[in-house]
């Protein structure tokens, strides 16, 4: 039996996977609190991740009805880019700043300038620093809280922190490390010279975790934790990875020809590449995959986070929101939303705010506002999909994951907006499954990752949405309206 863990923005999920039986036997989750403040501050307490893991693990194993000694390995997926800065005792010197924190936008711009602009970033890192990456968070802490900064003994990512708690080892792997901003995604090595630009007082050989291969274990369980959880101390903890990388594994996106699109709190679009990618757009992140190769990716910051705000504004449950969404016509009778409640990464608008455009006395309805926010979030993902160029253009299928993928109306919308067939895996919370698959791949050398994906990644044929010609044509006009609004209100070029 193998345990998959996904520590996300809203909750930590745990799944129990039976590789031989090709089934998920149990699953559970526990919520986290998100602390939000002025200037785009978004933080969490790492201890809440630990407590969420404990609760979700116990419930998932109980639901699975298995003997705990049957568990062989644990894999951890985590929200990317978060800064977990620890002192000499292994305690956080500051709450973890998250991927969606935009308070560090000015520090990011300053770092990009010091590295020689986009060209300099590409030369040293293989990608261009974005607001939200770990690098600017460390620079921000140095400027705003020097006392905490001086106590730093190590800097980890969220999934690295959970691995540290599980094993006592401070390690990192290439997929998640790709989003730090001080890692060369082409050579899979820390860039100590770039780290020196961010934190000149910190010794990177001491502060940065040891890099391991994606199939290499982070370690085994700490004996005292193994006793607490009722597990063998020989349980392997896999390298783990970022949620996008392990979500790709959990959807079987481990070879060219498939696009994984996530309708989660944020939105991501990624496609596997066997080679490092130099994209035409600086907004495409040339991340490494967590199983070898690369996973070029774009991330938008407002998907279900935006739709949830509108749903809660009208005090609608998910079923009622779905009814409103289906009731409004394509184009929401002229309503366009720029859904940048959290700023935006793609396009790069860290200080942007949301706008509702085209409202009049006839189209101001709940249904149209619900439809417009979902359409606009989807347009943002199409905008990102187009930036991936040939990797996405050659895709035969989009595999849809995340909470929004449960909506048949939203699935059809994605198919029509992208003019590509869309299908969901049976497990739409794919990062936790991907973590369990990576754990099995790490612990069992008799099985390849592709064999593991064949066993456990099953598509839900009932979720298939084929693009409808009339709707595809209609959305071309509506998407053009969205792009015009981007240009008019935010200066984003319309090609």
Residues with catalytic roles: 243
Query: 3-class secondary structure for 304-325?
Result: HHHHHHHHHHCCCCHHHHHHHH
CA separation for the pair 452, 436 (Å, rounded): 10
Contacts of 429 (CB under 8 A, 6+ apart): 6, 13, 15, 401, 402
Q: What tokens appear for 368 in the block? A: 């149209």
Asked if the bond preceding 96 is cis, omega within 30° of 0, the reply is no
Cα dihedral value 246, 251, 257, 260, nearest 10:
-70
Residue 109, φ and ψ in degrees, nearest 5: -60, -40
Of 366, 383, 379, the C-alpha closest to 332 is: 366
- DSSP codes joined into one string, 412-429: HHHHHHHTS-EEEES-S-
**Alpha-carbon gap, residue 115 to 197, rounded angstroms:** 8
CA 246 – CA 379 distance, rounded (Å): 25
Going from the C-alpha of 206 to that of each of 194, 351, 420, the distances in angstroms are: 15, 34, 47
On whether the CB atoms of residues 169 and 219 are closer than 8 A, the answer is yes
Spatial CA neighbour of 137 closest among 105, 93, 112: 105
Q: Tokens 């620079």 map to which residue?
A: 139
């Amino acid at each position: 039996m193998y345990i998959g863990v996904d520590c996300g923005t809203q909750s930590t999920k745990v799944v129990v996977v039976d590789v031989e039986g090709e089934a998920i036997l149990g699953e559970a989750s526990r919520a986290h609190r998100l602390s939000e403040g002025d200037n785009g501050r978004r933080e969490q307490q790492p201890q809440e991740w630990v407590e969420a893991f404990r609760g979700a693990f116990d419930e998932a194993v109980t639901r699975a009805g298995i003997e705990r000694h049957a568990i062989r390995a644990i894999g951890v997926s985590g929200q990317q880019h978060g800064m977990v800065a620890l002192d000499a005792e292994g305690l956080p010197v500051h709450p973890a700043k998250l991927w969606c924190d935009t308070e560090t936008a000015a520090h990011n711009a300053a770092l990009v300038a010091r590295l020689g602009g986009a060209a300099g970033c590409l030369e040293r890192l293989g990608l261009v620093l974005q607001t939200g990456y770990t690098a600017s968070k460390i620079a921000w802490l140095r400027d705003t809280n020097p006392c905490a900064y001086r106590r730093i003994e190590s800097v980890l990512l969220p999934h690295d922190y959970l691995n540290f708690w599980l094993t006592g080892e401070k390690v990192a792997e290439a997929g998640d490390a790709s989003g730090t901003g001080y890692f060369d995604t082409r050579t899979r090595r820390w860039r100590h010279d770039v780290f020196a630009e961010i934190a000149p007082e910190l010794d990177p050989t001491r502060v940065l975790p040891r890099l391991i291969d994606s199939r290499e274990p982070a370690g085994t369980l700490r004996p005292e934790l193994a006793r607490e959880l009722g597990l063998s101390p020989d349980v392997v903890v896999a390298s783990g990875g970022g949620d996008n990388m392990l979500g790709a594994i959990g959807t079987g996106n481990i070879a060219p020809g498939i696009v994984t699109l996530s309708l989660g709190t944020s939105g991501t679009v990624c496609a596997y590449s066997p080679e490092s990618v130099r994209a035409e757009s600086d907004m495409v992140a040339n991340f490494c995959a967590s199983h070898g190769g690369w996973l070029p990716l774009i991330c938008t910051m407002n998907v279900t986070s935006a739709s949830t705000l509108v749903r809660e504004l009208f005090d609608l449950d998910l079923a009622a929101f779905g009814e409103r969404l289906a009731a409004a016509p394509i184009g929401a009778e002229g309503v366009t939303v720029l859904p940048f409640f959290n700023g935006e990464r793609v396009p790069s608008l860290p200080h942007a705010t949301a706008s509702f455009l085209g409202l009049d006395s006839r189209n101001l309805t709940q249904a149209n506002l619900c439809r417009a926010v979902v359409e606009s979030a989807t347009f943002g993902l199409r905008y990102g999909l187009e930036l991936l160029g040939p990797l996405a253009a050659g895709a035969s299928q989009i595999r849809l994951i995340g909470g929004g993928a449960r909506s048949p109306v939203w699935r059809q919308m994605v198919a029509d907006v992208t003019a590509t067939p869309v299908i969901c895996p049976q497990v739409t919370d794919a990062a936790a499954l991907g973590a369990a698959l990576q754990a099995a791949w790490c612990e069992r050398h008799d099985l390849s990752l592709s064999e593991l994906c064949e066993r456990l990644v099953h598509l839900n044929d009932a979720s298939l949405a084929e693009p409808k010609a009339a709707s595809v044509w209609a959305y071309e006009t509506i998407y053009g309206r969205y792009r015009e609004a981007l240009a008019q209100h935010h200066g984003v070029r319309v090609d």
